[in-house]
Amino acid sequence: MLRAPPFNSELEDFRHTVREFIRVNLPDHIRQQVAAEKMDLPREDQVCWHRILRDNGGWCCPAWPKEHGGPGWSDEQQYVFEQELALGNAPRLMIYGVGMLGPTLFEYGSEQQRERILPDILNADTFWCQGFSEPGSGSDLASLNCRMTPDGDEYIVNGSKIWTSEAHLADWIFGLFRSSVEARKQQGITFLLIDLASPGVTVRPLKIFEDTHEVNQVFFDQVRVPKENVVGRLGEGWEIGKYLLSLERFGTAEVSRTKATMQRLTELAFAEIPGGTRLIDHVDFAERFCRAERALHALEMTERRILLGDQRAESIGTGASMLKIRGTEIQSDVFRLTAEASAHFAHIDIPRSQAGCHSDSPYQPGDAARNYFNYRKTPIYSGSNEIQRNIIAKLELDLRS
């Protein structure tokens, strides 16, 4: 596989330490599930790995400062750490609590909120989910209509949120709610935290077609929420929501996760198929394989330039959009090739062990097709790729729609 140039020796030592830690400490049954790219890792496995990282100097919260239990790492260290997690088949970090809400509370939360909420995230006692999208308000998020109406020391919330990932595993939801209809629509939005155990909350699963349970619709019927659960000021939710979405930047392109899939594809491409040839010997396959590999390598270099380069602050806005578009396109190409390649090993007489080309490989032919279909979601969520193109057109080309 094409390799990016190494970082300086200090960072490469750090990489070695992280790699060794994962190799020794990641429980095998969790590694196997991640290597097979299973979508619905059980909560107890997520908690187990999170706490192993927590006990090692707060590694579970790589972007958190030391005073809140994180390791206090530089951007470069965080980047290397995320790479090693992916390549070592370790689970993704808990994006909603650790990656989104925590840093949002550092920036906009009150001292009392930080004291109350952050320790439970650090200890994996509380799982969070994100309630932004609503039926009819996805790309046009500012049109959202789930209402919060003041009533004494509380708000009463009515409406629903949709496509809420992991709500069925979560204890709390953070989200954007309509607090005023008089102001400009962006100004009437407030960032609110809601306990999903509150009376009037219903979480209903939305099954997707390859039969995994990832997303839900969450209904709020006269749900009473203490006023102390507003983050920032009333009507400041749009600003806070934009800040929170920008925190996804390290993960948007999923370069390292795609590299891990590329490694599995490489094994399939160079293994012998029935008839005695290898897929890589077939010109059509080899061309597409090499194109995907080159594109992924180019994206990795671009990602480094945008996230870690000297001008990162200026390039992060449109850079994140560009990374998301290219990252999800290349990811889809690699999954499609992997599904295609796996089909050659799905013959009934081929031992399961050979299908992954390693006797202990958990990756089976059916996984590849399921993953290809499941990952049709990535160009849609976190702001669809069309919306990312609009952002680039607006910010870089000064084109207004």
Binding residues for ligand FAD, rule: CB under 6 A, are 129-133, 138-139, 163-165, 214-215, 377, 380-381, 383-384, 386-387, 390
Residue 213 CB, shortest distance to ligand FAD, in Å, is 11
* Helix 255-270 × helix 283-308 angle, to 10°: 160
CB atoms < 10 A from the CB of 95, how many? 17
Q: How far is CA 206 from CA 215, 354, 371, in A?
A: 6, 35, 18
Residue 235 CB, shortest distance to ligand FAD, in Å, is 20
Q: Cβ(220)–Cβ(157) under 8 Å?
A: yes
Residue 338 CB, shortest distance to ligand FAD, in Å, is 20
Coil vs helix vs strand at 360: coil
Q: How far apart are CA 10 and CA 19, in angstroms?
A: 14
Measured from the CB atom, is 73 or 174 closer to ligand FAD? 174
Residue 96 CB, shortest distance to ligand FAD, in Å, is 8
Measured from the CB atom, is 82 or 214 closer to ligand FAD? 214
Q: How far apart are CA 307 and CA 296, in angstroms?
A: 16
Burial 338-349, CB ≥16 within 10 A → b, else e: bbbbbebbeeee
Q: How far apart are CA 389 and CA 401, in angstroms?
A: 12
Residue 381 CB, shortest distance to ligand FAD, in Å, is 4
Q: Which residue is nearest to ligand FAD (CB)?
A: 138
Measured from the CB atom, is 126 or 390 closer to ligand FAD? 390
The token pair that represents 255 in the structure block: 């370069």
375 phi, psi to nearest 5 deg? -80, 5
Measured from the CB atom, is 126 or 266 closer to ligand FAD? 126
- CA 256, distance to chain mean position in Å, is 12
Measured from the CB atom, is 165 or 187 closer to ligand FAD? 165
Q: How far apart are CA 23 and CA 398, in angstroms?
A: 48
Measured from the CB atom, is 25 or 139 closer to ligand FAD? 139
Residue 223 CB, shortest distance to ligand FAD, in Å, is 17
Q: How far apart are CA 96 and CA 173, in angstroms?
A: 9
Residue 54 CB, shortest distance to ligand FAD, in Å, is 24
Measured from the CB atom, is 229 or 385 closer to ligand FAD? 385
Amino acid identity of residue 212, one-letter, is T
Q: Cβ(356)–Cβ(350) under 8 Å?
A: no
Residues 6+ apart with CB under 8 A from 113: 105, 193, 228, 231
Residue 197 CB, shortest distance to ligand FAD, in Å, is 19
Residue 136 CB, shortest distance to ligand FAD, in Å, is 7
Measured from the CB atom, is 84 or 254 closer to ligand FAD? 254
Pairing of strands 201-206, 215-226: antiparallel
Measured from the CB atom, is 229 or 388 closer to ligand FAD? 388
Partners of residue 250 on adjacent β-strands: none
Q: How far apart are CA 313 and CA 146, in angstroms?
A: 34
